[in-house]
Amino acid sequence: MPNTHTFDNEFQHRLGVLGLGEGRSILSAAQGSSRWCVTCVCDLSEALCVARQREFDLECERTTDYTKMLSRDDVDVIGVFTPDDIHVEHIMMALEAGKHVVCTKPVVDNLSRGTELLAAQQRSGCQVFVGHSYRFFQTFLREREDFEKGVHGDLISCEACYNGDKRKGSAGARGKKGEVNWLYSGLGHAVDLVYWYLGAIDTVSGFSKLSNAGRKLGSEFADCFQFVLQSEQGVLGQASGIYGAPRAHPKAAPVAGCTLRGDFATTTATNPTFDYFTMIDGHAPTCETYVDDGGFYFRWGGSGYHAGEFQNYLEHFAQCLETGDRHSPNLSDGLYVIAILEAMERSLETGLPCRVDTILEERNLLSLKEVIAK
């Protein structure tokens, strides 16, 4: 069953959505939640604004001017779903306008303005949620539940993957021209899952390859990756992503998966299939299969566009805004994932392992470790 939450009160958070391509999913998520109300949509394309209003029957304002949306009193939270390289500017503007932020991952595409972004959030008193959506898929939530119960014992390793057939590029004009950096836009999913379980990472090392398909698209970025990681406590990690080849047969390997191996149990969560596998000492092997009732997760058929995870994380963020509890992933989490990815880039450039602390020190962000450890 979908992992939605119910609340007794009727308070609604008023959401303005910037970027209505990928923002389609957050619109559907907010519309399906009693906790949220979309009050404004914004995109450079007036036609897309109109199309999204019609698609979701939204009786809200629309604008092609972001500053106008930021000036509205009926917008409490800004959903940033624009291209990766302009996230930082849009987040900064929202914080300066006194708005909370929900930003699709990656929160930024490099750490050059990381300290500036953290300072802006501190000044504003507002919160930033980073949409690493795989944490909120049904099977991954189920695996996390077992982990937090201590089913695994001491963790030995976390192996995560996110693969996709991107031989013809991805959605959007930039994707079709091969301008997507798949280390951040693709492998970032797997890296966040490893970070979720391992916490602070000591060292990363890996290899990459630009596929023939990526080369034909004119891409300057590698599109195939295999990395190993080790936490500061010595737990092993693996993050992999292949984007220049056909997907594996769904019964052979998931598009996205997370395998946890511990002293007493090994578990695997999969996506877009709804299977959760367990091998626990003293118990028979299990496979729990969930049904996507009513298309909660995949609302447009197939497994391309997804919205259920977005609705789950909106529910989580809303509850934390109301209670004052720490939400996750927050801005510090999102920036730390980028630090891991920058260390991976350094490893690819030098052919040597790279310590994440090296990147944090260069970016004047070692203080992040104090925050994520809480």
pLDDT in tens, 248-300: 998 899 999 999 999 999 999 999 999 999 999 999 999 999 988 879 999 98
CB 203 within 8 A of CB 353: yes
* pLDDT at residue 3 is higher than 50: no
Cα→Cα distances 178→14, 169, 184, 348, Å? 36, 6, 14, 20
Q: Which CATH number fits domain 135-290+330-372: 1.10.357.10, 3.30.360.10, 3.40.50.2300, 3.40.640.10?
A: 3.30.360.10
User: What pLDDT shows up at residue 7?
Assistant: 36
* pLDDT at residue 348 is higher than 70: yes
Q: Could you give the CA distance from residue 227 to residue 347 in angstroms, rounded to a whole number?
A: 10
* Domain 13-134 class in CATH: alpha beta
Condensed to tens digits (0 to 9), the pLDDT of residues 107-163 reads 999 999 999 999 999 999 999 999 999 999 999 999 999 999 999 999 999 999 999
Encoded tokens for 195:
């970070």
Q: Where are the domains of the chain?
A: 13-134, 135-290+330-372
Distinct helix (H) and strand (E) counts, the chain: 14, 15
Nearest to 333 by CA among 128, 158, 109, 154: 128
User: What pLDDT shows up at residue 18?
Assistant: 98
User: What pLDDT shows up at residue 171?
Assistant: 64
User: What pLDDT shows up at residue 174?
Assistant: 63
Condensed to tens digits (0 to 9), the pLDDT of residues 29-69 reads 999 999 999 999 999 999 999 999 999 999 999 999 999 99
Q: Could you give the CA distance from residue 109 to residue 82 in angstroms, rounded to a whole number?
A: 12
User: What pLDDT shows up at residue 175?
Assistant: 59
User: What pLDDT shows up at residue 4?
Assistant: 38
One-letter amino acid for residue 131 of the chain = G
Mean pLDDT of 230-237: 98
Q: How many CB atoms neighbour CB 286 within 10 A?
A: 11
Q: Could you give the CA distance from residue 203 to residue 26 in angstroms, rounded to a whole number?
A: 34
* Paired sense of beta strands 155-162 and 236-242, if any: parallel
The owner of tokens 């996506």 is 271
The owner of tokens 């849009």 is 90
Q: Could you give the CA distance from residue 344 to residue 249 in angstroms, rounded to a whole number?
A: 28
Q: What is the pTM of this model?
A: 0.94
CB 309 within 8 A of CB 133: yes
Q: Could you give the CA distance from residue 342 to residue 116 in angstroms, rounded to a whole number?
A: 18
Q: How many CB atoms neighbour CB 203 within 10 A?
A: 17
* pLDDT at residue 172 is higher than 70: no
Residue 355: CB partners within 8 Å, gap ≥ 6? 202, 203, 343
One-letter amino acid for residue 236 of the chain = L
* pLDDT at residue 8 is higher than 50: no
CB 69 within 8 A of CB 78: yes
Q: Could you give the CA distance from residue 68 to residue 157 in angstroms, rounded to a whole number?
A: 48
* pLDDT at residue 177 is higher than 80: no
Condensed to tens digits (0 to 9), the pLDDT of residues 284-341 reads 999 999 988 879 999 987 776 789 999 999 999 999 999 999 999 999 999 999 999 9
